[in-house]
Amino acid sequence: MRALGASKVSLSSISSEVLWRASGRLESVGSELFRVKDRNEANLLLSPTHEEEITTLVASLIKSYRDLPLRLYQVSRKYRDERRPRQGLLRAKEFVMKDLYTFDTTEHWARVTYTEVQAAYKAFFDELGIPYLVAEADSGAMGGNLSHEYHFESQQGEDKIMCCDSCNYVANEEVARRRPGAEASTESLAALRVWLGVSKDRKTFVAAWFPGTDGGGSASKDEVNLHALKAAEPTLDTAVEDPSRLWREFTKPRKIIHLLDPRLRLPQGESRLLETSNGASGLVKSLRASLTSNSTRTTPLEVSSIRTGDACPMCNEGSLLVRQVVEVGHTFHLGHRYSKPLSARYKNEANANTDCEMGCHGIGVSRLVGAVAGIMADDKGLNWPPGIAPFEVVVVRGKENAEDAEKLYDGIIGSAHTPALDVVLDDRDRTIAYKLKDADQIGYPVIVVLGKTWAGKRKKAEIQCRRLGVIELIGEDEVAERVAECLRRLKSSVSS
């Protein structure tokens, strides 16, 4: 962040509902807010993010275009009333995040800033040394029309992204698209699938139709694109597991909204559609009847989930791969989303009041730690990459090697022939076996052991790096250089 010219700030964890109401976000994200009142009955909340606060602060400071660009960042605790906290640090009610907020004069310069931030983020993830993916993303409640997510591939992940095996197309499941295909009439369909949903007020049913390959009938939740369905019908309650029960309980007439996959060409009002329902359940037959009755509106929408093997929308050769990921960072170009309602304006060169162009960019610090731990750990314990390990090297000694261990420690950190290394000396009064097991569990990248091979005139230290498969004896004068070499190999091997 300093390389971007950003200054560090510290914003309050307690915010006012007045600001969030002014930005229009209070109700849209209200279910995730921790809301409290003070002794004067003022409505406050624990900040899940700080766009409103930083915009209000900057609005009081800037006067002229000469005050811009402005880049401010913080590393702070955030709070969200998550419905389903899970997997420790990956999704929690309290978490640590790095935020960067940028303010520019024009959209052109805001997009230049956005590109610079992307480069800084990529440099950070490259240095961290964990393979990552950058995906096009939907801005959602944050606002704006340009955003990218940064992901680690992980079986722990609850998100999915789609990558082309031929070109550079990468997108999250909210914005990913398959290549448009030829329409399919009902006569040529082997099956017609339907997923039933219900609105939050339980007064409207949503029927999502798409072509299937494994028989007709009702579809499960993982077969449909829930993000697209909720975008089309914001009142949809996707938490209901079995809307068919509500369908049976409701008395007619029911309000039904049909969402149709664009690959379907349906013969509205004709009986041919009903003829494809051989063997289908009574629910599906009822839905088909309502679909052909012309009594409800229909909306074309890419209904079904993208699956591995679907055609890439950006090239003619590629197929999409679906990957399970953990999101660890996000960049947003916000435009005037917050500066306009919160009056963050400056006087331009023509002395006219102009809204700032804004961006916000975050890295989930605590989430990143949890994600890396899950990805890199093995059966012996944690296995930190050197970039974020608590120490790059630990020196473990036996009880009889106390003085020699201190000298070796000093030699490693003070070597003129190697870069500065981050080293810790484990001088606890424990057995060497205990300390070695502890070092593996903590996950130090390199372990230097002064044990039996150090006794007498041998003076051989054991170098261990389990990720590289290194276990070797090294003379005292070569320890620092060999440790530095292991760390260089670790960084290059992990990032590749």
Q: pLDDT digits over 356-388, tens only? A: 999 999 999 999 999 999 999 999 999 999 989
279 and 207 share one domain: yes
DSSP state of 86: B
Residues recorded for the chain: 496
Q: Are 20 and 70 in contact (CB under 8 A)?
A: no
- Residue range 188-217: mean pLDDT, rounded: 74
Q: Is residue 314 part of a domain?
A: no
Q: Is residue 398 part of a domain?
A: yes
DSSP state of 52: H
12 and 92 share one domain: yes
18 and 135 share one domain: yes
Q: What pLDDT was estimated at residue 265?
A: 62
307-334 pLDDT tens trace: 899 899 999 899 999 999 999 999 999 9
- Helical segments of 83-223, H only: 107-128
Q: Model pTM?
A: 0.81
8 and 157 share one domain: yes
Q: Which residues pair with 329 in a beta bridge?
A: 150, 363
Q: Is residue 17 part of a domain?
A: yes
Q: What pLDDT was estimated at residue 352?
A: 96
Q: Is residue 124 part of a domain?
A: yes
Tokens read off for 39: 């002794």
Report which of 109, 157, 67 is spatially closest to residue 349, judged by C-alpha positions: 67
Please report, rounded to a whole number, the percentage of residues in the chain having pLDDT higher than 70. 86
pLDDT band at 291 (very low <50, low <70, confident <90, very high): low
Q: Are 61 and 7 in contact (CB under 8 A)?
A: no
Tokens read off for 99: 């935020």
Q: What pLDDT was estimated at residue 48?
A: 95
226 and 123 share one domain: no
408 and 482 share one domain: yes
Residue 279 pLDDT > 70: no
- The CA radius of gyration of the chain, in Å to the nearest whole number, is 29
Please report, rounded to a whole number, the percentage of residues in the chain having pLDDT higher than 90. 58
189 and 329 share one domain: no
Q: What pLDDT was estimated at residue 273?
A: 39
Residue 86 pLDDT > 70: yes
85 and 219 share one domain: no
The overall average pLDDT reported for the chain is 86
169 and 193 share one domain: no
Judging by DSSP bridges, how do beta strands 320-335 and 357-364 pair with one another? Answer: antiparallel
Q: Which of 374, 404, 439 is the last residue of a domain?
A: 374
- Residue range 15-43: mean pLDDT, rounded: 91
Among 140-144, 216-220, 457-461, which stretch is predicted with the lowest mean pLDDT?
140-144
Tokens read off for 282: 């009574």
- Residue range 29-38: mean pLDDT, rounded: 88
pLDDT band at 247 (very low <50, low <70, confident <90, very high): confident
171 and 195 share one domain: no
Among 170-184, 242-256, 268-282, 423-437, which stretch is predicted with the lowest mean pLDDT?
268-282
Output the domain CATH number for residue 405.
Answer: 3.40.50.800
Q: Which residue has the higher pLDDT, 394 or 208?
A: 394
Q: How far apart are CA 245 and CA 249, in angstroms?
A: 6
Q: What pLDDT was estimated at residue 254?
A: 65
- Residue range 137-144: mean pLDDT, rounded: 66
Q: Are 384 and 390 in contact (CB under 8 A)?
A: yes
Residue 495 pLDDT > 50: no
292 and 199 share one domain: yes
Q: Based on the structure, what is the number of domains in the chain?
A: 3
Q: Are 407 and 401 in contact (CB under 8 A)?
A: no
Q: Is residue 388 part of a domain?
A: no
Residue 93 pLDDT > 50: yes
Among 76-85, 304-313, 410-419, 449-458, which stretch is predicted with the lowest mean pLDDT?
410-419
- Residue range 89-112: mean pLDDT, rounded: 96
Domain that holds residue 222: 184-300
Q: Which residue has the higher pLDDT, 247 or 359?
A: 359
Output the domain CATH number for residue 72.
Answer: 3.30.930.10
pLDDT band at 143 (very low <50, low <70, confident <90, very high): low
Q: What pLDDT was estimated at residue 178?
A: 84
155-191 pLDDT tens trace: 888 889 999 999 999 998 888 888 876 555 444 444 6
Q: Is residue 307 part of a domain?
A: no
Judging by DSSP bridges, how do beta strands 298-300 and 133-136 pair with one another? Answer: unpaired
- Residue 261: left if φ>0, alpha if ψ -120 to 50, beta else—which one? beta
Q: Is residue 363 part of a domain?
A: yes
